[in-house]
A and B are shown apart, each in its own frame.
Chain A
């Protein structure tokens, strides 16, 4: 099993079950939940199913490309289903089989794990899905996003691509996974994960732990915040403002990896990101409501 094949199978599987296939959002982020397709998609009443890959950066998890099990940047496959279908667990289990896991030979468990993202004002309840002792998916019923109750409730499935691929192949070093095969006139060249990503892991780990300029990042954090509030409060622009909240969050993660955030100031810093994200969520909902009432008026006029 190759990394890219796994992604392709997941995309095919969920597209066949009525999901849009989305794309990663091109701003640094820690998790697929932060993609606007999920953050705004989970708000409001509109039916919304989407699946996509999200490269997720966790500066604190960087290991210079030396640890065979940990990455600065890993890939999540994220699926959200709104409202959560009654058969959501069965649909999820069938997706494992679509990836090539024969469940008649494995041990599958759903163990309590309640997800929470204080930077997004979001939380839900659910499980970590454990296959033969390994956590392969985070499964969550969103209860709140952007500080707003989810009505209806969205189900979120987050697959850890690298982990699942290692598990399926029995390879115990991420960098030895095969990303895919390059075919040229001269022959077939299997390309390793390490060839595609190892140098990046090294440099970005060094950046997060050693080279990142602290003053610069504090300045970024403050400036993104200012910019975000300007966009959302002056213009009601929730998407461009939300990008600023994502950038704040990443700047915070870099500072945190450098040990520049003390435990006492931590909650206050997180709250500043959350406040902006929540404001974006509210602006989005206000905009949706206005659109709806305009449509209704147009309906009446006709």
Chain B
């Protein structure tokens, strides 16, 4: 094995936005692997590892060859007879060929290469592999400037663009510095540590060897590993929360962000005045998170404690300034939140209804006042169909968007719905009404819960349906990766609510028709087009729901074609079918169902079966089974009966020729199969079982 070395590259920048760190590191990895592959310097793929901190993007590549392998290539020239004259001396042509490849004529061999009819001049050239150091010096500036930077910037007088100004480059290949330059910054063997470190040590941090990179940086106050920073923050938070008898209100995304905005973390626990505990929990959690990137602490019952946890970008808080500073700022924030809350409470929520006409929902679908009217129409009709209180549905719907006009939602858009519900609760609205308003945007994610109350489910359906059907009715249909209004998520939410609530009175398409009515003139596409597009959209959503619910492929494939207008029924059939998913008899049943489908393809069998006409024992047995099956009322019993049918069906096909000469016998046999098939289709299309 040839000699291998390790590459270390670190770009030291001004603070890089947290959200770009990970994508940038991954983008470079991909570009580097392409480069290494093309130049054959990374046999076996090597080992690539990356780290990053707010000011650093760093990559380590182990297993790089010190030099490219030599490249051996064979060149075929003119035929031998043209290169040598009668006396065996080189001709003009022969000499030119040698010259072209820079070799002595004597080095030419004459042999017959594959595909040639006669011997030709052949040379074998060995191109020496280039030192990897040179390749890197050429490639790295190109790879770095080629990175995909979503919001690139210029600085100073240069035209160079990057995510933030690059202030230092550390680049070692083994013991050597890779000699290259980017926008006037020369690669070197040193870098910079934490700003606190350099207050006492103005000189850069020397990295004597690649292995010393992480430890030297740690000495200079930077934990360059994201994972280590994240783990440290999580552990400190847990301990600090436990000290005051609570636990951290989990938020994985916020934890990621914190680990991305500090170079050496420590967590401080602060306290806020108990007077602010009167604010709704959601307001406190959101205010702490959005403004201060801080975590809340709750007790074992989920009640908040008057503490918060903030991550600082240094290992300690020597004078307590960080704690008191964060407390001070938080107090100002909460003061503002309370101002919004109290101001909002001064006006009854519903007083904002009229002003919704000034708030655009969608250019083509009108204002939020119009949307509210449509939601109200859908929600009250739907509530009636489900046997819920239509009056309450109407008042919840009319109130649903009013909180978009409150100061609190203006400040924290993610509190929409939640604030409306809170304000209504404080105005003593009936429980089902304020709860419905609070739950109207659920489920907010694939894993998140659906509305807990039935009226909440109704309102959530009405809101999502109006958006979804409205967009389809003006031709805004999601395609490929384009789904700016998250219509797929709305569709999945609708299916999940129906599915989990077990509501069988209405199906997705019927709901769509319900939502299409109040759109009136706003719909610009023909109704039949809209419904057709919605049907195929919802078939995909329902199919996806079956997958998420974990049913086997055979169950999903055979249950769905029978129908999905009633999701509760579909769910019941899937549950019943799942008991037989591994049953070999059902595989046989599937084969038979396919045969039946083929036989009946061009026939018009009668619904009336005259069993007396049947002659063979095998068909008479089938007819008996049929009458038992037709009498069974629930899915499970029917399926158990069908399982028993697989044997008799096989026997039937072995013994009986369906399409016989005698027309009346033939008619009876076709009717028998037709009635069997109709019975199958009450639960599943078994021809799709496999």
- Nearest A residue to B151, CB-CB: A125
A169 CA / B331 CA spacing, docked (Å): 16
CA distance A35 to B132 in the complex (A): 54
Contacting pair B156 A109 (CB below 8 A): no
Kindly identify, within residues 280 to 330 of chain B, every residue whose CB is under 8 Å from any CB belonging to chain A: 292, 294, 310, 312-314, 317-319, 321-322, 324-326, 328-330
Chain A stretch 65-107: residues in CB contact (< 8 A) with chain B: 67-70, 83-86, 89, 93, 103-107
* Interface-side segment among B10-18, B246-254, B480-488: B10-18
Bound complex: CA of A83 vs CA of B196, how far in Å? 27
Contacts of B153 in A (CB 8 A): 124-125, 141, 143, 153
A interface residues with partner B (beta carbon < 8 Å): 63, 67-70, 83-86, 89, 93, 103-112, 114, 124-125, 127, 131-134, 141, 143, 150-153, 155, 167, 170, 172, 262-264
* A69-B335 contact in complex given A83-B157, A112-B17, A263-B360, C-beta closer than 8 Å: yes
Contact call A172/B331, Cβ cutoff below 8 A? yes
Complex CA distance for A127 and B13, rounded to whole angstroms = 13
Q: B314 — which chain A residues lie within 8 A by C-beta?
A: 107
B contact residues around A110 at 8 Å (CB): 14-15, 54
Say whether, besides A112-B18, A263-B358, A172 and B332 are in contact (CB < 8 Å): yes
Contacts A68-B335, A263-B358, A264-B360 given; does A153 touch B17 at CB 8 Å: no
Residue from A85, A106, A114 having most chain B Cβ neighbours under 10 A: A106
Q: How far, in whole Å, are A150 and B155 apart by their CA atoms in the complex?
A: 9
**Do B336 and A69 have beta carbons less than 8 Å apart?**
yes
Q: Are A172 and B321 in contact (CB under 8 A)?
A: no
> A69: nearest residue on chain B (CB-CB)?
B332
Q: Quick one: given A68-B335, A114-B151, A125-B153, are A106 and B328 in contact (CB under 8 Å)?
A: no
Q: In this assembly, does B167 line the interface, its C-beta being within 8 Å of a C-beta of chain A? A: yes
CB closest residue in chain B, given A67: B339
Cα distance, A125 to B151, chains bound together (Å):
8
CB distance from A267 to the nearest CB of B (A): 10
Contact, CB under 8 Å: B167 / A86: yes
A69 to B339, CA, bound (A): 11
With a cutoff of 8 Å between Cβ atoms, the chain B residues found around residue A63 in the complex are 339
| CB-contact partner of A264 in B319, B321, B358, under 8 A | B358
**CB contact between B321 and one of A67, A84, A106, A143 (< 8 Å): that residue:** A106
Query: B335 to chain A: which residues have CB within 8 Å?
Result: 67-69
Given A132-B321, A262-B358, A264-B360: A167 in contact with B328 (beta carbons within 8 A): yes
C-alpha spacing A155/B153, complex, angstroms: 12
CA distance A134 to B324 in the complex (A): 11
B154 adjacent to chain A (CB < 8 Å): yes
Q: Which residues of A contact B262 (CB under 8 A)?
A: 109
Q: Please name all residues of chain A whose beta carbon is closer than 8 Å to the beta carbon of B319 when the two chains form the complex.
A: 105
B156 and A83 form a contact (CB under 8 A): yes
List, in ascending order, chain B residues with CB within 8 A of A152's CB.
156-157
Complexed CA–CA distance, A82 and B199 (Å): 27
Contacts of A106 in B (CB 8 A): 321-322, 325
Q: Spell out B's residues near A (CB within 8 Å).
A: 14-15, 17-19, 54, 151, 153-157, 164-165, 167, 195-196, 199, 261-262, 292, 294, 310, 312-314, 317-319, 321-322, 324-326, 328-332, 335-336, 339, 358-360
| B322 A133 Cβ-Cβ under 8 A | yes
Q: 10 shortest A-B CB distances, which residue pairs?
A: A132-B325, A112-B17, A133-B326, A262-B358, A110-B15, A107-B312, A69-B332, A152-B157, A134-B329, A125-B153
Of chain A, the residue at the smallest CB distance from B152 is A125
CA–CA, A105 and B335, complex, Å: 27
Q: Of the candidates A109, A151, A263, which one forms a contact with B359 in the assembled complex, judged by CB atoms under 8 Å apart?
A: A263
Write the nearest CB–CB distance from B133 to chain A, whole angstroms.
28
Given A67-B335, A132-B321: A107 and B313 interface contact (C-beta under 8 Å)? yes
Instruction: Choose among A89, A105, A167 the residue that contacts B14 (Cβ–Cβ < 8 A).
Output: A89
Q: Is the CB of B326 within 8 A of A132?
A: yes
Please give me the residue from chain A that is nearest to B318 by CB atom.
A105
Task: Name 27 interchain pairs, CB-CB below 8 A, sorted by A.
Answer: A84-B155, A84-B156, A86-B167, A105-B318, A106-B321, A106-B322, A107-B313, A107-B325, A112-B15, A125-B151, A125-B153, A125-B164, A132-B312, A132-B321, A132-B324, A132-B329, A133-B294, A133-B326, A133-B328, A133-B329, A133-B330, A134-B325, A134-B329, A152-B156, A153-B157, A170-B324, A262-B358
Task: Name the residue of chain B whose CB is nearest to the CB of A166.
Answer: B328
Contacts of A112 in B (CB 8 A): 15, 17-19
Residue of B nearest to A152 (CB): B157
Pairwise interchain contact B310-A133, C-beta atoms closer than 8 A: yes
A141 with B155: CB separation less than 8 A: yes
Interface-centre pick from A104, A114, A133 (highest chain B CB count, 10 A) = A133
CA distance A114 to B153 in the complex (A): 11
A125 to B165, CA, bound (A): 11
Closest beta carbon of chain A to B676's beta carbon, Å: 62
Closest to B314 in A: A107
When chains A and B are docked, how far (Å) is the Cα of A153 from the Cα of B159? Answer: 10
Residue of B nearest to A134 (CB): B329
Contacts of B312 in A (CB 8 A): 107, 132
Given the complex of chains A and B, what is the CA–CA distance between A93 and B199 in angstroms?
A: 11
| Chain B residues within an 8 Å CB radius of A104 | 196, 199, 318
Q: Return B70 CB to nearest CB of chain A, in Å.
A: 44
Query: Complex formed: what's the CA distance from A105 to B318 in Å?
Result: 6
- Name A86's contact: one of B17, B156, B292, B329 (CB within 8 Å): B156
CB distance from A86 to the nearest CB of B (A): 7
In angstroms, Cα B293 to Cα A107, docked, is: 14
Report B-chain residues with C-beta under 8 Å of the C-beta of A86. Answer: 156, 165, 167
A150: chain B residues within 8 A (beta carbon): 154
Contacts of B196 in A (CB 8 A): 103-104
Nearest A-chain residue to B200, judged by Cβ: A104
* Complex CA–CA separation, A14 to B313 (angstroms): 27
Q: Is the CB of A93 within 8 A of B321?
A: no
Nearest chain-A residue to B359 (Cβ)? A263
B155 to chain A: which residues have CB within 8 Å? 84, 141, 153, 155
Contacts of A132 in B (CB 8 A): 312, 321-322, 324-326, 329
Q: How far is the CB of B275 from chain A (nearest CB, A)?
A: 14
Does A103 lie within 8 Å of B199, measured CB to CB?
yes
With A141-B155, A262-B359 already in contact, the answer to whether A133 and B292 are too (CB < 8 A) is yes
Shortest CB distance B223–A (Å): 15
Interface contact A111-B261, CB-CB below 8 Å: yes
Q: How far is the CB of B21 from chain A (nearest CB, A)?
A: 11
Docked-complex contact A172 and B328, CB < 8 angstroms: yes
Give bound CA distance, A86 to B14, whole Å.
Answer: 10
Evaluate whether A143 and B358 lie within 8 angstroms (CB atoms) in the complex, with A132-B322, A134-B325 already known: no
> Are A127 and B195 in contact (CB-based, < 8 A)?
no
How many Å lie between the Cα of A263 and that of B336 in the bound state?
Answer: 23
Question: What is the chain A residue whose CB lies nearest that of B184?
Answer: A86
Q: Is the CB of B156 within 8 A of A153?
A: yes
In the complex the two chains form, what is the Cα distance from A93 to B195 in whole Å?
Answer: 10
Closest residue of chain B to A45 (Cβ to Cβ) is: B157
User: Which residues of B sit under 8 angstroms from A141, Cβ to Cβ?
Assistant: 153-155, 165
* Closest-CB distance, A269 to chain B (whole angstroms): 14
